[in-house]
Amino acid sequence: MTMYHASIYRFDEFAKLPCFTDEPDAALPYLNGHAGYLYTVEIDEDALVVAGERTVRRIAAGLGLDAECVWELLEDEPEVREALKKRGYNAAEYTDLGPDNRYEHYTLMLLDPSLARIVAVDEVREQDEEEDEE
């Protein structure tokens, strides 16, 4: 599966908890107008064991945790990630809001960053306010 990630940083492999979306236009606003890079990655779908939003919330509830958004449980609560891994999951999927909260998009968070293979890196130039208004 082809996925996308935008970052102001240039790197050769992902670390920690990378998040991807299935549309480049959903990834680019995460640069917040800054210059950066759009990463195109390939992820082997057969290697994925994906937890959905309800699974993440159910596991979090079992740990006595709750949050308004699923991403908060995944990013802020290491015990949720560890519980998912213990149950055999290596990724989680959820619907997220863009950085400006104006659009929803699909997100896949990898609990094992080695599952993402970078196949292309496109440089994105800084966007000024006039370009934003177009």
Query: For the residues of 17-86, what is the DSSP string, one character each?
Result: S-EEBS-HHHHGGGGTT--EEEEEEEE-GGG--EE-HHHHHHHHHHTT---SSHHHHHHH-HHHHHHHHH
- Give residue limits of the domains in the chain: 2-133
What gap in Å lies between CA 70 and CA 36, rounded to an integer?
Answer: 27
Give the C-alpha distances (Å, rounded to integers) separating 17 from 20, 116, 123.
10, 11, 22
pTM: 0.89
pLDDT digit string, tens, across residues 86-126:
999 999 999 998 888 888 999 999 999 999 999 999 999 99
Q: Could you tell me the two tokens for 50?
A: 């994906």
pLDDT digit string, tens, across residues 42-94:
999 999 999 999 999 999 999 999 999 999 999 999 999 999 999 999 999 99
